[in-house]
Structure 1
């Protein structure tokens, strides 16, 4: 390796260190890290396995490591994250060595530059979970495997020893790093020099023996299944989205990447390419994706971007493996262009240090602290209690909040707001992304003016007041006064009554003969400008008989295909009195796949139980959403 290329590699590693360690003492814990730390509070190893490992769905390796690490070094954020930051740096160097074995120094430098500067690898170096550890273990495993395959006669036993060690660590780290290790191990049976086949099989057998103590945990977790309770099945765009995510969702990064790949064909003959190399690295990159995809579609959802970090580096060998070795000045130019493009987009397009360094769990508690003593303000939050307790103690915060979950139902929340809004002028609401989207329009009914909204990854904080608000965002309001507006249908004028109403002089009566009530239909693109927005619906209703199986329904369709269907029951908002009540319904568009043509939105009342009741003031709003809600792994718009 030339002295100039060594300096280029040093530049890559130094910048990789800077990107990962920038203000590293300020990096907050993620939800997954908190979960892992809460599962280290056991007095003995048996409880750790039974109560801290089995219930998690991951192998025991990293949880056991954290258990002993925090016992010795404590639970300060940077201390917990430090080993994984180091794994991230070491991975850059190991990846360089692998590329050098299979290709040349130019391919190695280009590939290492990407691994050093892309958000995917930077982000997971800053998270104390089994992702960057798994990348380091799997790259190290592949490095020693490569030496066994390429030069078996040189230090076979030493390389085999480290191959077995890292193969075992992959198995104990994460099931997807184990999957990749299994693919590599099996593939090696076809590549290994026949003289060393028996010894290679012995290596695999020893690895299996080392994994035997974990088999009981493996089968227990296999029977439990995946994370289908909160993780949805991957859609047809998953692979393309993943590749786009790797490259920062940036046309600039893609343009540079494609340009370098095209440059590689300059003065390079197709006959110089080695098909076996492309087959190997295609299998390593695509097979874990395909296995995860079909398992998630037809068995249990397990596939998300994070679990593919172990196999993602091999895409660079597919893209750049044909590049011939270049002069150091060309290598420097390529590396500088890669690093500059990736770092600029990491900081400004992906806003990594702004978004990831701000914990929504902390901001839910701190965004209101400068007016926390205001007795005219209600402080309501929907967050994680144990994580909140961590920040209460760490930051010495006022912990006097109302918790949304303490209200047993929507009726209880509304009853509280009806009384509280009389004597209070403001309401502060901080929530994580999993909050019921209909909560906000309920709060907004009694505190109609949005003073401010602060957006974070995975959550939002709001300040509302009792001041009157304009009708910004109002799409339509069916009040049964005068002629029916455009886009409304199924409104029978004979059902409009003037004997009883909530506002104006008329209301609408649905009885046992009417199953389908007033219906609003519109092209989604005509009312929504951002796919992170909400569509809120409210309707006043009053019983004439008993309310049974009545609901607000919304559906999104594209060319006759149903995309999304959801409903909200009137019963949730009915308190058995003869007063007027309000039913609410919300669509969180950020949770709906919207990449369809000509999407039609339909909202209607479904009187499934054939009840008899009045409705009035049927309103539909578009509410500005949180454009950062899924910014960590989606494009920011």
Structure 2
């Protein structure tokens, strides 16, 4: 066995060890549990119709495989994920084979980088379409390169075209972006086709299309859903740079180490016969990004970091080809050295076994259940904002440790629903948490208003659970609070009409559309999300038909509106009339939007939408220590 083969085996074995250990350490994620729940359909018809066509936005391939595999091994996370880990590990070998077409050093270096980067490691642990989609995309790429540049024998060309058709179809059945990727790869290959192999490429494409025909009705239904993938934002102008920074362990040191030899290699002479191959890899990575970027604006947003897994290995192979050009021809020290650096970056800088990299759902259930055991269930209420209660209670099924929720879903506009629910509670304790759903801090603030004392809490990645109490003796967590504005007790920095202020009350009516206004300077703590802002408004003599909105409008130092990811001015508004008319008191809390930086401004005022009458007794703004998210 040659030295290169020994090195490759070591790279693959370490890559397998990383993927297996990370898979064992991390529990099921939200997306995986969605797929697990949909395995409960017993008939093929129900599985396809309810578990895939209506219940999912992916092709049927992976869900069908998981159903068959679960009948053999059950739903244990380690065993369920094992085939996906193996797909991800096999992808290392395919990266090597494609890189080896350029040179042995390119193959080893690309395999080492791919094996040890955190991004492909994490995507390989999940029982989701990413690892198999990656495998079949790479397989398609390998056979396409062979057909285009390496083979002329008719028997070989026919076999290769058959494998291209099969691997394309498999990718199409796995993930829609993998579908788009292999389709783009096939079409872009026409730029390099010769007359003698054109018919084989056409045969491969037609074979894939014919094999996909049984799935067409499902695809047409899913892609015809109005609104598309509404939860994804449109990519911004520098999205690709953000992705590359993320994909290379978010490490400027690692990027610099790779960038320097890459730039040197770019200016070294290339083998003329490989120029077309390098151009093809360039097209496959940057071209599919451009297609995804355009589709995200003309149809529906489809770009997110995980789907770039299908094209990213071609970028890794491309840069590996240029990096290896800086070292002597027969010397493998550079691939070994860089592979070790990537491995160290992943282990030391990213801590792959940390819970930070996964949605923590099992620990959330265990913590909440233990608190329930410590406190009488009759004196305890449990509320969670989750995509499905099953995703939490899955972890208690074996021991019959099911949690009963008074509420399990809260959307942005549900603050009144949340207050109404809390109004009905007579228990002294409340467990409140969230998992894998955006849960604004005002929901915690409202709960904390009814249950003022924080007894315990645990925060995880994209999840958290809090034990709140009505009893002062239970207060174990004291939140730091600071009043930063209090009108009319202190009118400094407030802009208002002096004639409307009378005996510490401020009158708004048909002649006064806006309340007093303040321009708050954003502190480092606000920008870093270490504190949140709490607004407390009291009123008297309000019209029954009044319409009032609390407005928070961020501005930069030039007093220009700060824009969101889609280029629109950020404007946060909360309608106050229901609370003010019923209770003459309203409260609301926000985190600073992520686009707002230190020393930016927050313009804050109340908008009298229908120019009704109201007397404002007080507007108080506090900065409160953020233990929520």
TM over 0.5: yes
Spell out the pairing of 1:3-402 with structure 2 (5 A cutoff): 3-22=2-21, 24-55=23-54, 56-101=56-101, 103-154=102-153, 155-224=156-225, 227-262=228-263, 264=265, 268-269=268-269, 274-322=274-322, 323-324=324-325, 330-339=331-340, 341-355=341-355, 359-372=359-372, 373-375=374-376, 378-383=381-386, 384-394=388-398, 396-397=400-401, 399-402=403-406
The correspondence for 1:553, drawn from 541, 551, 554, is 551
Work out whether residues 144 and 162 of structure 1, in 8 Å CA contact, stay in contact via their aligned partners in 2. Answer: yes
Once the two structures are superposed, residues 3-54 of structure 1 have per-residue CA deviations (whole angstroms, 9 ceiling, x without a partner) of 2221211221111011101163443111111112222222322222222222
Q: Deviations over 1:422-475 (max 9, x none)?
A: x73x54321134224311121233444555543222222234455489783435
> How far does residue 528 in structure 1 lie from its aligned partner after superposition?
2.1
Q: CA deviation at 1:187?
A: 2.5
RMSD: 3.1
Q: In the aligned structure 2, how far is the partner of 1:585 from the partner of 1:170?
A: 46
SS at match of 2:303: coil
TM-score normalised by L of structure 1: 0.86
3-state SS of 1:288 partner: helix
Residue 620 of structure 1: SS of its match in structure 2? strand
CA distance change for structure 1 residues 239 and 626 in 2, over 3 Å: closer, same or farther? farther
Structure 1: distance between partners of 2:402 and 2:174: 39
The reply to whether residue 462 of structure 1 matches residue 461 of structure 2 is no
What is the match of residue 477 of structure 1? 485
In the alignment, structure 1 residue 584 sits paired with structure 2 residue 592: no
Aligned to 1:495: 500
Q: Name the CA shift for 1:625/1:332 in 2 (closer, same or farther; >3 Å).
A: farther
Moved more, 428-437 or 317-326: 317-326
Inter-CA distance 54–16: structure 2 relative to 1 (3 Å threshold): same
Whole-Å separation in 2 of the counterparts to 1:477 and 1:76: 53
* 1:191-224 Cα deviation digits (max 9, x unpaired): 2332222233222222222122222222222211
Would the alpha carbon gap of residues 413 and 209 (structure 1) be closer, same or farther in structure 2, given more than 3 Å must change?
A: closer
> TM-score, with normalisation over the residues of structure 2?
0.87
Does residue 428 (structure 1) correspond to residue 428 (structure 2)? The answer is: no
Do the aligned partners of 1:225 and 1:300 also contact (CA within 8 Å) in 2?
Answer: no
Q: CA deviation at 1:153?
A: 2.5
CA contact 1:508–1:616 (8 Å) conserved in 2: yes
Q: What does 1:484-633 align with in structure 2 at a 5 Å threshold? A: 484-486=491-493, 488-490=494-496, 492-498=497-503, 506-525=504-523, 528-530=526-528, 534-558=532-556, 559=558, 560-563=560-563, 564-574=570-580, 577=582, 579-587=583-591, 589=593, 592-594=594-596, 599-625=600-626
Between 276-285 and 220-229, report the one with greater CA deviation.
220-229
Q: Distance in 2 between matches of 1:178 and 1:395?
A: 41
Tell me the SS of whatever aligns to 1:199: helix
Shift of 1:540: 2.5
Instruction: Encode CA deviations 1:170-192: one digit per residue, 9 max, x unaligned.
Output: 11111211112112212223323
Q: Deviations over 1:239-290 (max 9, x none)?
A: 1110111111111211221134246469x43676954333212211112211
Q: Indicate how the Cα distance of structure 1 residues 335 and 263 shifts in structure 2: closer, same or farther if over 3 A, else same.
A: farther
Residues 255 and 304 of structure 1: is their aligned pair in 2 closer, same or farther, counting only changes over 3 Å? same
Alpha-carbon spacing, 1:287–1:597, altered in 2? closer, same or farther (3 Å): farther
Q: 1:475 to 1:243 in 2, by over 3 A?
A: farther
Q: 1:409 to 1:126 in 2, by over 3 A?
A: closer
Structure 1 contact 410–572 (Cα < 8 Å) conserved: no
Q: Distance in 1 between matches of 2:162 and 2:211?
A: 13
In structure 2, how many angstroms separate the alpha carbons of the residues matched to 1:363 and 1:207?
43
Is residue 5–residue 328 contact of structure 1 (8 Å, CA) maintained in 2?
no
Q: How many aligned positions are there?
A: 607
Question: CA separation of 1:256/1:625 partners in 2, compared to 1, >3 Å: closer, same or farther?
Answer: farther
Q: How many angstroms does 1:404 deviate by? A: 5.5
Secondary structure, counterpart of 1:224 in structure 2: coil
Give the superposition deviation at 1:156.
Answer: 2.1
8 Å contact from structure 2 (residues 147, 197) kept in 1: no
Residues 121 and 406 of structure 1, relative CA distance in 2, 3 Å threshold:
closer
Question: Aligned to 1:437, which of 441, 445, 452?
Answer: 441
Using the alignment, how far apart are the partners of 1:599 and 1:542 within structure 2?
33
1:632 is aligned to none
